[in-house]
Structure 1
Amino acid sequence: MAADDVKATRTARSAGGARPHPVDEVLPPGRLLAGGLQHVAASYAGVVAPPLVLGAVIGLSPAGTTFLVGAALFTAGIATLLQTIGFWKVGARMPFVNGVSFAGVAPMTAVAAAQTDKQDALPVIFGAVMVAGALGFLLAPWFCRLVRFFPPLVSGTVITLIGLTLLPVAFGWIQDGGAPGGPAPATGLALAAATLVIVLVLRRVLRGFLRQIAVLLGLAAGTLIAIPAGAVDFGPVEHARPVGFPAPFHFGTPHFTLSAIVSMCVLMLVCMTESTADMLALGQVVGRPADERTIAAGLRADTLGTALSPLFNGFANSAFAQNIGLVAITRVRSRFVVAACGAMFVLLGLSPAFASLIAVVPRPVLGGAGIVLFGTVAASGIQVLLGAGLDRGDNLLVAAASLGVGMIPVVSRTFYDGAGVPETLRTLLDSGVSAGCLTAVLLNLAFNHVGKRRHDRHDGHDRHDASPPDVRGG
């Protein structure tokens, strides 16, 4: 299928046919590799963060944690290729990066804590993830129908929320080395500011291809500036092996525990909800709105990638929202660029030495670029909301309440700790995007659909007004 896609695109060009949609455009090798590397740089930290956290919780050795990180990169690459290239009815065939979902850190940590012997933690998690991925794959054809509940009012709110919930990630990167929730170290703040300024200046003065890779150039420049400041750690490069393969079931054969399976299935539903919202957001950015068929194919890629990941010691995968901002800024909409990113992730997973080269980029430098990337996602959502008619009916109230609910776990991760909320419900509530998305869908139905027609017909009869009611919501 992938070869057919590429061949068809090149044939259309050579025959002087209609220019393919920018999403299906095959760029020259140089631009393809540079664009792919830019996506790798933007998403690398998001891919490796969950295995680093989980490795520390379980008490893995440095070698074990390094192996887990390599497995996460390898499986993220496979999932990204499934999403961008695809086969049969699998893959949205959009410029989506798929990687380890950070939403899974809390439930996986809880599963690990419940094990008497910490050596059993990963096999139990892997078994539960496999079952959850298989269940999600079967549910994809039905789950995709939720797209009808995402008019511009809801999708605009969710896209805005995606950007707002990602911004604290960038702030956390800038605070790297400082106390959690405390002030950013002076060095980190200076590096982030320098990177941010460089990216903005490059976007302003460069033209053509160089303008498209301004973020990558900014990350490189920020890293070079960080070297004399002593903020670059070359230790991972010095001790990394040149070649390594994530051997199947390295940590033991999967165990299947009911409580862990239930927890991971809830996580899978949350990931599917977030991926649906991300596909709607990316569809707006690339000019190819995601319909039910696209979303179903995208969810199949997510869930199949999740089901296969434990085979290579990986975790649940979902679409990465941070790359939406990169697509929006660069205007490079080719899915083959992100496919190149997926291939690079596979290679990084097979070569710890190469993976460590990306790891030397200081987190404050990533944070400076992240402000632009994630802020762009939020601005895209606001743009959608502007066309959703916030001045009509109660649409402003729907958006305001949904944004407020979605921001709760972003502002305070311990907000629900003292409320006795069940653990399965906490998985949903602790995801700002999922909680805000569900709130927006329910409020839009309540204020713009449920009982609306009957109420309006009654009012219209009293006023002898025959005009049709406006029930579009957003």
Structure 2
Amino acid sequence: MLTSGLQHVAAMYAGVVAPPLIVGAAVGLSGTELTFLTGASLFTAGLATFLQTLGVWKIGAKLPFVNGVTFAGVAPMLAIVDTTENKADALPVIFGAIIVAGLLGFLAAPWFSRLVRFFPPVVTGTVITLIGVSLLPVAFGWAQGPNPKAADYGSTTFLSLAGITLVVVLLLRRFTRGFLKQIAVLVGLVVGTVIAIPFGVTDFSPVTEADIVGFPSPFHFGGPQFALAAIISMCVVMLVSMTESTADMLALGEIVDRPADEKTIAAGLRADTLGSALSPLFNGFMCSAFAQNIGLVAMTRIRSRFVVACGGGFLVLMGLSPVAASLISVVPRPVLGGAGVVLFGSVAASGIQTLVKAGLEKDNNVLIVAVSLAVGIIPITKPDFYHAFPETAQIILDSGISTGCVAAVLLNVVFNHLGRRRDDDDVTAPMEPGDEISGSHSAKAAHAH
């Protein structure tokens, strides 16, 4: 449980610390304050993970979900920093906007979850595939090195380290069994980090410079401030985050053979939004489910939510101990990139498995998948495609997962819900109570025809 939980932390660590590092640098925080902000994000991510996995009342999907800082909020938070005259007020304004957005999202969760009936396999499979495809560029970026502006970015050294890590993980998965096979990603990260030492890529300075204990004191950067423009901006981000979380819950539900129904999604969204509303209390940002950890669940087949809760415990401890938090930061980005190829690729593969159940022999479903994938891949292949749109619209449009999800839902409604469907299109029709999801159902339908 401990090692498997640590694997989840290793898989999502970079995603958790990146937003506070970027926003903190934009605000102009000192090195000490930046470390504090990063630790606070780890701490609040751990609390949100507890809320999601263990659950309280009707809060928490009780699925093996890791929650952390959503990257969707980085761009609008940077915009808030730029428009705030006194940079010392930037973080309090951001925190105030997140609190309001989180509370509104919490109230809206039950209504938002009712959209689940519009997510049949043709939609969920498309969205799951897009999640994996959208995350792969992150792994490729990690594989090229830590600094895109450096002269050695994308060097053969960095790419070789990523390749070695990938090969180690694949060999362990192929030729080992039991416990060692389950922790293949963690072993791959350790081996890759050790191999990177002679190349001068591994940096141990974060460990030597960090304090042993450091509690994220409430409202360390000042009490929350409430600015209307900032609140509207973060509410848009919250809608994007809820859309992605819904897709993630549907994806994970398929992987663990516990399809996420309306009740589960509502509980999961409550955990996301309440975790987001409480995070600013401890100087954290908006929280959301982490898609990369879905790949880890899919690959290891360890479906226990308590394993992920254990990972949440590690996050809390790292948030309370900067030294502990700095240990995983020692892992070089190229090594993370090599492991990320396996993790994120597994998510895309899970989506393809779901699409197999979607009845792609029907032209309507082929069109839904084709167009939705194309729309979702636009921000990946042409990042500046929507540059002429307003900044608020770009927050949504630049998320391939969100745009692809919206496109898939709308196309499914048009082709499979509006008007009278032809008999040959009833593969994706909503199942009636008592229907069996099996080959026998399809056989009965064929016999009726």
Q: Which TM-score bucket, shorter chain as reference? A: over 0.9
Does the 8 Å CA contact 1:448/1:471 hold for their aligned counterparts? Answer: no
Q: Deviation of residue 186 (structure 1)? A: 1.4
In structure 1, the residue matched to 2:428 is 472
- Following the alignment from structure 1 to structure 2, what is the Cα–Cα distance between the partners of residues 262 and 244? 33
- SS of the equivalent of 1:306 reads helix
Does the 8 Å CA contact 1:133/1:304 hold for their aligned counterparts? Answer: yes
- Following the alignment from structure 1 to structure 2, what is the Cα–Cα distance between the partners of residues 73 and 53? 15
- Following the alignment from structure 2 to structure 1, what is the Cα–Cα distance between the partners of residues 133 and 248? 14
- SS of the equivalent of 2:60 reads coil
- Following the alignment from structure 2 to structure 1, what is the Cα–Cα distance between the partners of residues 390 and 425? 41
Q: Deviation of residue 469 (structure 1)? A: 6.2
- Following the alignment from structure 2 to structure 1, what is the Cα–Cα distance between the partners of residues 257 and 67? 20
Q: CA RMSD in A?
A: 1.5
Q: Does the alignment pair 1:87 with 2:56?
A: yes
Q: Give the aligned residue type for 1:326.
A: L
Selected match of 2:105 from 136, 139, 144: 136
In structure 2, the residue matched to 1:450 is 418
Q: Deviation of residue 451 (structure 1)? A: 2.2
Selected match of 2:130 from 149, 161, 186: 161
Q: Deviation of residue 224 (structure 1)? A: 0.7
| 1:59-208 alignment, distance < 5 Å | 59-177=28-146, 179=148, 184-208=154-178
In structure 2, the residue matched to 1:17 is none
- Following the alignment from structure 1 to structure 2, what is the Cα–Cα distance between the partners of residues 354 and 451? 58
- SS of the equivalent of 1:255 reads coil
In structure 2, the residue matched to 1:430 is 398
Q: Give the aligned residue type for 1:71.
A: A
**What residue ranges of structure 2 are gaps of 5+ in the alignment?**
431-449
Q: Does the alignment pair 1:441 with 2:402?
A: no
Does the 8 Å CA contact 1:130/1:306 hold for their aligned counterparts? Answer: yes
- Following the alignment from structure 2 to structure 1, what is the Cα–Cα distance between the partners of residues 420 and 133? 32
Q: Deviation of residue 422 (structure 1)? A: 2.3
- Following the alignment from structure 1 to structure 2, what is the Cα–Cα distance between the partners of residues 469 and 219? 47
In structure 2, the residue matched to 1:282 is 252
How far does the alpha carbon of each residue in 1:318-341 deviate from its partner, in whole angstroms, 9 at most, with x for none? Answer: 000000000011111000000000
Does the 8 Å CA contact 1:77/1:342 hold for their aligned counterparts? Answer: yes
In structure 2, the residue matched to 1:51 is 20
Q: Deviation of residue 55 (structure 1)? A: 1.1
In structure 2, the residue matched to 1:244 is 214
- Following the alignment from structure 1 to structure 2, what is the Cα–Cα distance between the partners of residues 470 and 413? 37
How far does the alpha carbon of each residue in 1:291-312 deviate from its partner, in whole angstroms, 9 at most, with x for none? Answer: 0111011000000100000000
How far does the alpha carbon of each residue in 1:95-114 deviate from its partner, in whole angstroms, 9 at most, with x for none? Answer: 00000000100111111111
TM-score by length of 2: 0.93
Q: Does the alignment pair 1:41 with 2:10?
A: yes
How far does the alpha carbon of each residue in 1:174-232 deviate from its partner, in whole angstroms, 9 at most, with x for none? Answer: 11245369961111101000000000001111111111001101111111101111110
Does the 8 Å CA contact 1:92/1:294 hold for their aligned counterparts? Answer: yes
Q: Give the aligned residue type for 1:247.
A: S
- Following the alignment from structure 1 to structure 2, what is the Cα–Cα distance between the partners of residues 292 and 137? 15
- Following the alignment from structure 1 to structure 2, what is the Cα–Cα distance between the partners of residues 245 and 90? 26
Q: Give the aligned residue type for 1:336.
A: F
Aligned residues: 429
Does the 8 Å CA contact 1:140/1:300 hold for their aligned counterparts? Answer: yes
- Following the alignment from structure 1 to structure 2, what is the Cα–Cα distance between the partners of residues 364 and 469? 46
Q: Give the aligned residue type for 1:472.
A: T
Q: Deviation of residue 408 (structure 1)? A: 1.4
- SS of the equivalent of 1:228 reads helix
Selected match of 2:337 from 339, 355, 367: 367
Does the 8 Å CA contact 1:126/1:313 hold for their aligned counterparts? Answer: yes
In structure 1, the residue matched to 2:272 is 302
- SS of the equivalent of 2:97 reads helix
Q: Does the alignment pair 1:405 with 2:375?
A: yes
Q: 1:94 to 1:126 in 2, by over 3 A?
A: same
Q: Give the aligned residue type for 2:219.
A: F
Q: Deviation of residue 389 (structure 1)? A: 1.1
How far does the alpha carbon of each residue in 1:16-46 deviate from its partner, in whole angstroms, 9 at most, with x for none? Answer: xxxxxxxxxxxxxxxx111111111111001
Q: Give the aligned residue type for 2:85.
A: T
- Following the alignment from structure 1 to structure 2, what is the Cα–Cα distance between the partners of residues 127 and 409? 30
Q: Give the aligned residue type for 1:74.
A: F
**What residue ranges of structure 1 are gaps of 5+ in the alignment?**
1-31, 457-466
- Following the alignment from structure 1 to structure 2, what is the Cα–Cα distance between the partners of residues 128 and 473? 41
Q: Give the aligned residue type for 1:53.
A: I
- Following the alignment from structure 1 to structure 2, what is the Cα–Cα distance between the partners of residues 82 and 185? 41
- SS of the equivalent of 1:131 reads helix
In structure 2, the residue matched to 1:273 is 243
Q: Deviation of residue 470 (structure 1)? A: 2.1
Q: Deviation of residue 393 (structure 1)? A: 2.8
Identity between Structure 1 and Structure 2 (%): 67
Greater Cα shift, 408-417 or 124-133:
408-417
- Following the alignment from structure 2 to structure 1, what is the Cα–Cα distance between the partners of residues 155 and 127? 32
Q: Give the aligned residue type for 1:433.
A: I
Q: Deviation of residue 360 (structure 1)? A: 0.1
In structure 2, the residue matched to 1:232 is 202
Greater Cα shift, 348-357 or 53-62:
53-62
- SS of the equivalent of 1:51 reads helix
- Following the alignment from structure 1 to structure 2, what is the Cα–Cα distance between the partners of residues 210 and 64? 39
- Following the alignment from structure 2 to structure 1, what is the Cα–Cα distance between the partners of residues 306 and 275? 18
- Following the alignment from structure 1 to structure 2, what is the Cα–Cα distance between the partners of residues 285 and 141? 24
Q: Give the aligned residue type for 2:426.
A: D
Selected match of 1:218 from 188, 191, 197: 188
- Following the alignment from structure 2 to structure 1, what is the Cα–Cα distance between the partners of residues 127 and 166? 26
Q: 1:120 to 1:371 in 2, by over 3 A?
A: same
- Following the alignment from structure 2 to structure 1, what is the Cα–Cα distance between the partners of residues 357 and 149? 38
Greater Cα shift, 150-159 or 110-119:
110-119
